[in-house]
Structure 1
Amino acid sequence: MGESPRIGNSVGADVMRGVAILMVVVYHAFGSFYGWHLPWDGWLRNFSEPRSETLVWFYPVSFGWAGVSLFFTISGFCIHYSYLRAGKFDPGQFYWRRFWRIYPAYLISLVLFAILFGYSHLTYKGMSQILSHAFFIHNFGSEGFFAINPSFWSIATEVQLYLLFPVLLFIRGRLGISATLVILFIVACGWRIIAISNWGLPEHPIDWVWTFPLMTWFDWSLGALVAERSFQGRRAFKNPGLWLPASLLLFVLSTFYKPLTVFSFTLAALASAVALDASLYVRWKSWWAWGLVFIGTISYSLYLWHQPLIPYLINRLKTISGSSFVAWIGLVPLLLVGGWVSFQIFEKPAVAIGHRLRRSRRRADS
């Protein structure tokens, strides 16, 4: 069977989750002040007349959005591996656990940011945004995609991928995981054809059209492939020393040529799947790895709150310290403290409530 993965304690996945949230936080922090990407000159990136000279010097930071691809891959891995360990799919239990893990903390963040940014329930626009976010459908159009909290789009997409999970299991049960991925890739390419025909090429891969569930379903399922192979005691990518640099190179090149950006998110997911697969075989003992495990543990709370708070925190820290350097150095520790507090007072209690209610219901039924 070969080398066995060390996934009993999910250290590799937690480390990768920590990497993903740091990529996203740094990207949002940098982009809020210096720009999100370089402009296009026809079908190529324009480096001669950049929107921000700083963005040119720190251009790798602009790839931080790929942390979302990594998040999707990790999610597909964790969800599918849990199913494989259980040996069956219980829809009631699955969606019950997902609800209490995601929704209470999300709803609190949604309500507070809606109030903070003036989305009044007394207006049609405000109420439509609040309700579309509450029901995770705001990512089905440009008007709601970045509304209230721009980071919320990926949570909606994630929930929609949970709803598609039984379909993935149905196809996999009849054709196997490899054929399932082929089918999902064909579906994703079909959506790309529809998208290009109706909306043209994207200015940036993070857009409602280019992160639609029918496209990102394949990306999420790459994590399921890693889970399947790991459960069998095999590597999903037998030569990561070749797969990882090759997939990273293709990802970077795709971002320079506009027609290829329709595959950028998927190429980032492929590189993420290779990295995740390799991480399962690493003995994580260093202090920084366990620091990433901690950050990965609070990553959901950190994700819920960080983006709208970044400009406010940077400006406040600049005012207090009188130094931009101090403000940037102090940003991440403040966000980590806030994420830990949210994890302790919102996430953990909600999950505990869900467990207690589930046990009470089982006792009542027995």
Structure 2
Amino acid sequence: MTPSIPRNRFQTLDALRGVAALGVLFFHITLVCDLSSASLLIRLFYAAGKLGTLGVDIFFVLSGICITLAFRRTASFSAGRFFRRRWARLWPTYAFSAVLLLAANLLLARQPFTGAGATLAANLVFYPGLPEWAWAFLPRQDWIVPVYWTLAYEAQFYLVFPALAFAWRRYGFYPAHYTGLALSVTAYLLDPNAGLFLNRWFQFLLGSLLCDLFHPMREGRPFLWKHLLYSNLLVALTSLRGWRWEATLLAQALLLFAVAMERRGALAFLERLLARVGIFSYSLYLYHGTLALLASELIARAGWRQGAIHAALTAPLALLLSLAGSWAVFRLIERRFL
């Protein structure tokens, strides 16, 4: 039984969450497969998995859309209520995954649990997401699962959003939008690896701009394509310091394509299917890496440790374990906080 789509959700956004989560899953499946002696066809298939890294860019843009939607639906904004809702949505499922996946990773790697408590505590407060310069003064801690770094950015987005919401209402949407965008691009140009929210804030702000496609501003202004063009030209400056700005552009293009298809009623079945995956995409994002490693280990223990057979068997098993395991966690934990 797949999760049904609540009426207060946008199916297109859930479908894009599904696309993003499956893309990241596909990419990480390619990392756990031994392709050293695989056929050219399989290598080409897995090379396409690199496109899955776009999933992170899609998630950040979607985050800007969804948070802005929630803001515009309320007549008055309460920072306290916003923080409580965001904490309930992000942290409990994350904390459960940190405990479970730390134990699973140590068991899979046959490592002792020495220092596990410190690692867990650090991850629960997003300590490994501190800026790079902080490690000159503080002991370094690693993420339990590499994808957790994106949650540190997400938490920082939430912390600064009340200030952005205040600026929108005090100074107007577009002045605040371009000011934030300029600050974000400047921060990236100064230090691409700072590790603070400003380095990725431009993706969040682009999502806030695209929110007009789903919920127009109260002033009644239509969606202005010129602002999307100007914003992307500004973001393109980040390519001077190595940023893959085209990834953010492709993420927006995929969103616009999905909106166009939804309005025409095309691809309706595929959208509904992906939307159901999108409902539990957060759990899928958290757990897929460890479950993919488990699939690879199971295939290796069955006697296929490398080559085409290992790759061909690991991919479907990793997909099955990731979808089934994440759906179970969604049912048990995540949906209680929606």
TM-score tier (shorter): 0.7 to 0.9
Cα distance, 1:307 vs structure 2? 0.9
1:135 matched to 2:122? The reply is: no
Cα distance, 1:122 vs structure 2? 6.2
Please tell me the residue identity of whatever aligns with 1:137: Y
Identify the residue that residue 211 of structure 2 maps to in structure 1: 227
Question: Are the counterparts in 1 of residues 104 and 290 from structure 2 also a CA contact under 8 Å?
Answer: no
Identify the residue that residue 263 of structure 1 maps to in structure 2: 243
Cα distance, 1:81 vs structure 2? 0.7
Q: Percent identity?
A: 24
1:333 matched to 2:315? The reply is: no
Question: Are the counterparts in 2 of residues 298 and 343 from structure 1 also a CA contact under 8 Å?
Answer: yes
Q: Distance in 2 between matches of 1:106 and 1:183?
A: 32
Q: How does 1:265-284 map to 2 (within 5 A)?
A: 266-281=245-260, 282=262, 283=265
Give the direction of change, closer, same or farther, for the CA distance of 1:69–1:305 in structure 2 (3 Å limit): same
Q: How does 1:29-178 map to 2 (within 5 A)?
A: 29-33=29-33, 58-118=46-106, 123=115, 126-141=116-131, 147-178=143-174
Of 278, 287, 297, the match for 1:315:
297
Cα distance, 1:321 vs structure 2? 8.6
Identify the residue that residue 180 of structure 2 maps to in structure 1: 184
Q: Distance in 1 between matches of 2:104 and 2:291?
A: 11
Identify the residue that residue 43 of structure 1 maps to in structure 2: none
Cα distance, 1:172 vs structure 2? 1.9
1:213 matched to 2:197? The reply is: yes
Give the direction of change, closer, same or farther, for the CA distance of 1:217–1:171 in structure 2 (3 Å limit): same
Which stretch shows the higher mean deviation, 8-17 or 155-164? 8-17
SS in structure 2 at match of 1:187: helix
Please tell me the residue identity of whatever aligns with 1:114: L
Q: Distance in 2 between matches of 1:312 and 1:121?
A: 19
SS in structure 2 at match of 1:330: helix
Question: Are the counterparts in 1 of residues 212 and 223 from structure 2 also a CA contact under 8 Å?
Answer: no
Question: Are the counterparts in 1 of residues 119 and 142 from structure 2 also a CA contact under 8 Å?
Answer: no
Question: Are the counterparts in 2 of residues 80 and 228 from structure 1 also a CA contact under 8 Å?
Answer: no
Cα distance, 1:341 vs structure 2? 0.1
Question: Are the counterparts in 1 of residues 189 and 241 from structure 2 also a CA contact under 8 Å?
Answer: no
1:348 matched to 2:335? The reply is: yes
Question: Are the counterparts in 2 of residues 26 and 61 from structure 1 also a CA contact under 8 Å?
Answer: yes
SS in structure 2 at match of 1:64: helix
Give the direction of change, closer, same or farther, for the CA distance of 1:117–1:312 in structure 2 (3 Å limit): closer
Q: Distance in 2 between matches of 1:175 and 1:267?
A: 30
TM-score after normalising by structure 1 = 0.71
TM-score after normalising by structure 2 = 0.76
The Cα RMSD (Å) is 3.5
Question: Are the counterparts in 2 of residues 21 and 303 from structure 1 also a CA contact under 8 Å?
Answer: yes
Offset from partner CA, 1:135-189 (integer Å, 9 cap, x none): 1232125686852111111112101101111111122223333333322232223
Please tell me the residue identity of whatever aligns with 2:31: G
Question: Are the counterparts in 2 of residues 32 and 311 from structure 1 also a CA contact under 8 Å?
Answer: yes
Identify the residue that residue 24 of structure 1 maps to in structure 2: 24
Question: Are the counterparts in 2 of residues 14 and 293 from structure 1 also a CA contact under 8 Å?
Answer: yes
Q: Distance in 2 between matches of 1:92 and 1:132?
A: 24
SS in structure 2 at match of 1:263: coil
Give the direction of change, closer, same or farther, for the CA distance of 1:294–1:153 in structure 2 (3 Å limit): same
Of 286, 293, 298, the match for 2:268:
286
Please tell me the residue identity of whatever aligns with 1:194: L
Offset from partner CA, 1:227-258 (integer Å, 9 cap, x none): 13542274454899xx8xxx8xx99xx9xxx9
Which structure is richer in relative contact order (CA contacts within 8 A, separation 6 or more)? 2
The runs of 5 or more residues in structure 2 that have no matched partner are 1-6
Cα distance, 1:55 vs structure 2? 6.2
Which stretch shows the higher mean deviation, 341-350 or 133-142? 133-142
SS in structure 1 at match of 2:334: helix
Which stretch shows the higher mean deviation, 306-315 or 292-301? 306-315
Question: Are the counterparts in 2 of residues 31 and 62 from structure 1 also a CA contact under 8 Å?
Answer: no
SS in structure 2 at match of 1:279: helix
SS in structure 1 at match of 2:186: helix
